[in-house]
A and B are shown apart, each in its own frame.
Chain A
């Protein structure tokens, strides 16, 4: 059977149809082509023609025109629409025009950078010119670095390398910075939240250094669909951009199916595991030899999928591979190659493969659970089907509330604009860190502004701390440390734990970051890597090493995290809500053993690891006597837990951040308020402004929580709304409803909040497919 026949079978299978919540048929789109502009360098045209490219898509021509005209450009088109030419054309044209010209390409990961250079090298080879493109990252040999710095026309790197290796040593890059014509930022949508806020500051530093050497580069940004591309680009580069979002590339017909697994416990609102369902759906395609990718949200799920799929397919385990962070680069390259060449039939992945890593065209993309954001879901769906033929994307709903929300209201997904990419480059914590790096790179003039008008006072503060030295009208770095090394762009904790297989001559099999370590590699945990189980024998917390040995057991482990919040200072308060600074203490106390396949609890054990602590900002909601009037203690407790659960579902949608950037903790009697309180805090030291935003969105948040509750068809609460009854108590649903209604009453006494009104969403893009162009000409 081929793909079309399988689809036909599925369409006529009543059992399958019954579980389909929505079947969106997205028609094929023809290409819109235009000839090469007549001013484009003939060598470049010849190179493109030699590669079989005889014309441009409309959006490529628009991007080329804008960038070559010296305007910052943001290109927003879906996967496989020929985005790379949007920047390669203006860049190569400028270098052909003036061989002294330089360009800097920034990709979020090393893997993407390496992909990009091989593609560029092929095109340059066809042109028969002497343009040099190099990657410059942690893997670049020291011997090659000097040459790259002076002769590389196009330097391809990542934000971390730019931050720690290139900018602090800008004096070695005089040729690059003195002649920098273009800065290319691909996968721009990746730069949101904490990472984006850091990156915006790295770009501020970059621009400062360019000014020093007398260059003024044009930025070309590319992004998957986000609701606010121009705003995101402005946030990152600090200047307005020309938006190119009218996609001229053809696309194949696609079936996008929302599949809701059958209910196994109606009372508890529990459905069959989305992982198991995704697995059996994948099997249907894999047995027919149709190349399929299955996305899962968690690393451990990826490993479970690999195990299940290998068992299901039997022979030749190498045809099924896992792919996620924590695999070593060499391993990843082999998997990518196997996918391109067809040796690998199935891959289970985290969002690591959502990015533009070249793995060729797959036929089917199955998501085991909603990936968390609309943009992510479209990216993952886009992994199936490139330009021709038909492809299938299936979203398998989990029992989680957000998934069920989407299954019952798919219009929210297909009709709505995707999330906003938000960042807060002026977070004082992040900004100050980068201000230090900037001062290290070049002295600050007293009247110089770095992002914020209060720059001078931060400089004075750093001078008072003895980090800077003011002399004349300048501030100089005057400390014997290297500030960039102390700041990780990706998370609060820079250090990773390595996982060492004791039985294979102490081979390092993977890495996990510091915050995940207590959850994943505590002693007695079962760590799963490439579908193999490893038992953690010993965790050397000081040395950041976990020693494991391969085992074969019928369970996996799941650790419990206990979190407490303490208010340090309240910045703002109104009614029963407030926001301010808090200390969060996180401790993993115990773990559970869970049986494979049946997912039964098969025992537990303690975890003895030190507590992790951080200062961050939080928004909290206290329930005063007016709200809880007439409720019993147990009822309040259940209602509070239910409310916390509801808020944890809807808050990321409203803060428009990754769900991992925000955490929720209920406290039955919070020491600070003396009342039952729900805390929502930024999962990042110093905060990134999420909780402040939530504070202003307070009532919208509560209304969304009530809508979620109202739309749920359970009786007494279920994991799809207030959380599992076993954890939140029996009356959670009713109690949460009472509490929310009580809180919403408070609104009548308050004036409308301008901040809330500003972020209110209008349905500006009805029925549109967000991966397709919005149809507006904005060039």
Chain B
């Protein structure tokens, strides 16, 4: 290190001169072997373009670089919310370079933003946790407030979206902390709760004691490392290199994602794995129905029948499953009596079901009864 920065020093941060005044930066490097929970930083190199494209549902050029981003702020949004700490991380070689930008006072924002922009990656793929709704628009607002143009991004991967898809059905909430504990198996000690962070900054502004902010710097660091680990984790799920924890519900989220991208075979496998792993009765019926429709699209008539029949058994009167099973019985098995019985079963379900369903089921029942009569009269004819 060269000579220490001139006062007022901010412990651990380096003063960088910009045309807009001094900015305060600190850089931390993590080598590929560094572990965060069950993950190594080096695993990040394994995120192949395919996995990334899958996760963002978009094309990304070969030069795309991941830029992990997390901010600490003084509030929940609006022009009066300041971003006082920006943490970013990117791959350098096989290791990770983590950079924190600190705002020592509200008047020095232009310098922070200038330096952030200067170090920005030319075709950055932002990776955040709830950053689409929060961090990124808020940071963009700060550029607007300082009459600057926000830096460009090539794309944005918000891991909250995937957390909800994978774990929304099995975790109480999808906060980053709960994912750390249940999925990444990493634990924070002495962490400052998020809702106390603004107060810590206000306290710092009043007394200029930067030690009060050490837990916040640490919190931000930990958030970013978790972002990195979670990206590796999710990439491994979608490429099939690793199965998600809580196989039942999490596989369902994966199945839907495969289906949306037309990967029907993979989706079918996920549905089956989810059913094997065990699901709540509500989710089981839902999964069986999805699987039935999937098989139907693939032309697997019998497989579809089996799935819908299982859904009917599991639910007793699920109108969608009953309708599909009745269709099969009517058009393939030509067993009108059994089809009518299935329709009646659906109609016997609890009242309060939306009317169009009932009306359609009644039409179906009437037609099946006509067909049965015609069949009966045809067979009784000499």
Contact = CB atoms under 8 A, between A and B. Distances in A.
B145 interface: yes
Interface stretch (A92-100, A216-224, A247-255, A468-476): A468-476
Interface in A459-480: 466, 469, 471-472, 474, 476-480
A171 B198 CA distance: 21
Interface in B76-90: 76-82
B144 A168 contact: no
6 contacts: A442-B79, A471-B106, A474-B107, A478-B82, A478-B205, A480-B76
Contacts, number: 63
A481 B79 contact: no
B199 interface: yes
Contacts of A480: 74-76, 81, 198-199
Nearest to A167: B79
Interface in A432-471: 439-443, 466, 469, 471
Nearest to B202: A478
B74 A478 contact: yes
Contact of B105 (A169, A471, A482, A483): A471
A471 B78 CA distance: 20
Nearest to B138: A171
Given A171-B144, A171-B145, A172-B141, A476 B79 contact: no
A478 B106 CA distance: 9
B357 to A, nearest CB: 20
B144 A440 contact: no
A472 B108 CA distance: 10
A80 interface: no
Contacts of B107: 471-472, 474, 476
Contacts of A477: 80, 82
A455 B225 CA distance: 46
Contacts of A170: 79
Contacts of A479: 74-75, 202
A479 B202 CA distance: 8
Contacts of B144: 171, 174
B202 A439 contact: no
A439 B206 CA distance: 18
Interface string B68-106: 000000111111111000000000000000000000011
Contacts of B78: 168-169, 440, 482
Given A171-B145, A466-B202, A469-B106, A482 B75 contact: yes
The B interface, classified by DSSP as helix, strand, loop or mixed, is helix
Contacts of B206: 466
Interface residues of B, number: 22
A483 B77 CA distance: 12
Nearest to B196: A480
Interface string A160-188: 00000000111110100000000000000
Contact of A169 (B74, B79, B198): B79
Given A443-B106, A480-B74, A480-B76, A171 B141 contact: yes
A505 to B, nearest CB: 10
Given A172-B141, A480-B74, A480-B199, A441 B79 contact: yes
Interface string B46-82: 0000000000000000000000000000111111111
A435 B298 CA distance: 64
A696 B34 CA distance: 78
A2 B86 CA distance: 75
B75 A476 contact: no
A439 B79 CA distance: 9
Contacts of B202: 466, 469, 478-479
A651 to B, nearest CB: 40
A201 B50 CA distance: 54
A200 to B, nearest CB: 21
Interface size grouping (class) on chain A: 20 to 34
A476 B79 CA distance: 11
B205 A469 contact: yes
Contacts of B77: 169, 482
B106 A168 contact: no
The A interface, classified by DSSP as helix, strand, loop or mixed, is mixed
Q: Which 10 A-B pairs have the closest CB atoms?
A: A440-B80, A477-B80, A480-B198, A476-B106, A171-B141, A171-B144, A168-B78, A480-B75, A471-B107, A472-B107
A484 to B, nearest CB: 8
Nearest to A478: B202
A171 B106 contact: no
A442 B78 CA distance: 10
B152 to A, nearest CB: 16
Given A474-B107, A480-B198, A171 B79 contact: yes
Interface string A137-178: 000000000000000000000000000000011111010000
Contacts of B199: 480
Contacts of B141: 171-172
Contact of B75 (A172, A469, A474, A481): A481
A481 B76 CA distance: 8
A440 B82 CA distance: 10
A171 to B, nearest CB: 4
Nearest to A482: B78
A466 B201 CA distance: 12
Given A466-B206, A476-B106, A482-B80, 13 more contacts: A169-B79, A171-B79, A171-B141, A174-B144, A439-B80, A441-B80, A471-B106, A471-B107, A478-B106, A478-B202, A479-B75, A480-B74, A480-B199
Nearest to A438: B80
Contact of A168 (B74, B79, B137, B140): B79
A471 B21 CA distance: 15
Interface string B187-214: 0000000000011001001100000000
A466 B207 CA distance: 12
A472 B109 CA distance: 13
A476 B80 CA distance: 8
Contacts of A466: 202, 206
A478 B77 CA distance: 13
A482 B75 CA distance: 8
A448 to B, nearest CB: 15
Contacts of B74: 478-480
| Most chain A C-beta atoms within 10 Å of own C-beta, residue among B77, B78, B202 | B78
Interface in B111-142: 137, 140-141
Interface in A23-37: none
A440 B79 contact: yes
A441 B78 CA distance: 8
A469 B76 CA distance: 18
Nearest to B145: A171
Contacts of B106: 443, 469, 471, 474, 476, 478
A443 B144 CA distance: 14
| Most chain A C-beta atoms within 10 Å of own C-beta, residue among B75, B137, B199 | B75
Contacts of B137: 172
A482 B80 CA distance: 8
B80 A168 contact: yes
Contacts of B80: 168, 439-441, 477, 482-483
Nearest to B201: A478
Contacts of A172: 137, 141
A478 B80 CA distance: 8
Contacts of B105: 469, 471
A719 B78 CA distance: 53
Interface string B204-237: 0110000000000000000000000000000000
A472 B77 CA distance: 24
A149 to B, nearest CB: 12
Contacts of A471: 105-107, 205
A481 B75 CA distance: 7
Nearest to B105: A471
A238 B76 CA distance: 32
Contacts of A478: 74, 82, 106, 202, 205
Interface string A467-505: 001011010111111110000000000000000000000
A630 B199 CA distance: 66
Contacts of B140: 171
